[in-house]
């Protein structure tokens, strides 16, 4: 892990210094659409497992319907997210996701990590799309929002070239990490000039069962334009949001290489 961070910090970042608009917001003018051919490569990789690997029969049936849904234009949220992650790593952007049950997904929807149902050996399809792709990593964390979000914040600072995401198992579980949000995510740039493009995924509130943005909206981050709160309402939003976040991360990396 430390060697990976050191190598990334030593490598010069591509791109030029980005300017901010008058209201302090960086423009994100890069198109977030990707060619159909690249999505097909991701779909092929999602369906590909080692010859001796035995996917659970129930998941096999679920995965068999994916391409049919794509052809019919009925992509669900989990597949839209997988296509976004896959297209980013094929473009060369590392993706790192951690959280409580992030590999499977809180609602058994993601299945980013598969397990041989006889041997329990793991396999991550998005990490094996192409030989020249960027790394894709997903981690099931310990049950400490404070500790894990703090670690991922530090990782995102040292890896501005990567899309780093932390997912709360339920949106309001982020309350356990509010100190990290207020003292680091919301104010580190103002206090120390330290920037981060860490993405927080807050699937829904435990009580209201709806999108939970209270953890960020109540902090100083949005009022000072240090963060953006997105309540996705369609399946097309996750790819656009993740790509925009990756663009901001790359700009931070470029700015650091100029400093």
Q: Which two tokens stand for residue 108?
A: 């058994």
Rounded Cα distance, 149 and 186, in Å: 13
CB atoms within 10 A of CB 6: 11
Residue 191 burial by Cβ neighbours in a 10 Å radius (0-12, 13-18, 19+): exposed
Rounded Cα distance, 150 and 152, in Å: 6
Q: Which two tokens stand for residue 252?
A: 């931070």
Q: Which two tokens stand for residue 30?
A: 């890069």
Rounded Cα distance, 27 and 247, in Å: 10
- What's the pLDDT at 256? 47
CB atoms within 10 A of CB 42: 24
Residue that the structure tokens 């120390």 belong to = 192
- The conformation of residue 182, written as its DSSP 8-state character, comes to I
Phi first, then psi: give them for residue 52, nearest 5 degrees: -90, 0
- How many contiguous H segments (helices) and E segments (strands) does the chain have? 11, 6
Instruction: Give the CA radius of gyration of the chain.
Output: 18
- What residues have CB less than 8 Å from 239, skipping those under 6 apart? 32, 34, 80, 81, 83, 84, 87
What does the pLDDT profile of the chain (259 residues) look like in tens digits?
556 655 655 554 444 334 444 444 444 455 667 888 998 999 999 999 999 999 999 999 888 888 888 888 888 888 989 999 999 999 999 999 999 889 998 888 899 999 999 999 999 999 999 999 999 999 999 989 999 999 999 999 999 999 999 998 876 778 888 889 888 988 888 889 888 889 888 877 555 555 555 555 555 455 555 666 676 666 666 666 676 666 565 555 544 444 3
Rounded Cα distance, 117 and 127, in Å: 20
Say how far residue 63 (Cα) sits from the centre of its chain: 21
Residue that the structure tokens 């209270």 belong to = 214
Q: Is the dihedral of CA 170, 171, 173, 177 positive or negative?
A: positive
pLDDT digits (tens, 9 = 90+) for 19-78: 444 444 444 455 667 888 998 999 999 999 999 999 999 999 888 888 888 888 888 888
- What's the pLDDT at 21? 44
Beta strands in the chain (DSSP E): 95-99, 114-115, 122-123, 136-140, 163-167, 199-201
Name the 3-class secondary structure at 74. Answer: coil
- What's the pLDDT at 41? 95
Which domains can be identified in the chain, with CATH numbers? 35-243 (3.40.50.12470)
pLDDT digits (tens, 9 = 90+) for 120-130: 999 999 999 99
């Amino acid at each position: 892990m430390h060697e990976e961070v050191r190598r990334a910090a030593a490598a010069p970042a591509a791109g030029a210094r980005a300017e901010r608009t008058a209201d302090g917001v960086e423009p994100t003018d890069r198109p977030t659409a990707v060619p159909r051919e690249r999505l097909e490569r991701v779909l092929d990789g999602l369906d590909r497992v080692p010859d001796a690997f035995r996917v659970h029969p129930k998941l096999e049936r679920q995965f068999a319907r994916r391409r049919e849904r794509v052809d019919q234009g009925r992509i669900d949220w989990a597949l839209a997210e997988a296509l976004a992650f896959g297209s980013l790593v094929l473009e060369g952007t590392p993706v790192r996701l951690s959280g409580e049950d992030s590999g499977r997904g809180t609602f058994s929807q993601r299945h980013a990590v598969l397990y041989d149902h006889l041997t329990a050996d793991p396999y991550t399809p998005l990490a094996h799309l192409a030989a020249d792709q960027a790394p894709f990593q997903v981690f099931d964390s310990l049950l400490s929002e404070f500790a894990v979000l703090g670690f991922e914040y530090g990782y995102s600072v040292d890896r501005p070239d990567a899309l780093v995401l932390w997912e709360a198992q339920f949106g309001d579980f982020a309350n356990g990490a509010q100190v990290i949000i207020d003292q680091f995510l919301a104010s580190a740039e103002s206090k120390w000039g330290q920037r981060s493009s860490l993405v927080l995924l807050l699937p829904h509130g435990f009580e209201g069962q709806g999108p939970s943005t209270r953890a960020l909206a109540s902090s100083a981050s949005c009022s000072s334009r240090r963060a953006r709160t997105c309540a996705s309402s369609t399946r097309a939003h996750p790819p656009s949001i993740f790509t925009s976040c990756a663009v901001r991360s790359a700009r931070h990396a470029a700015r650091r290489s100029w400093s």
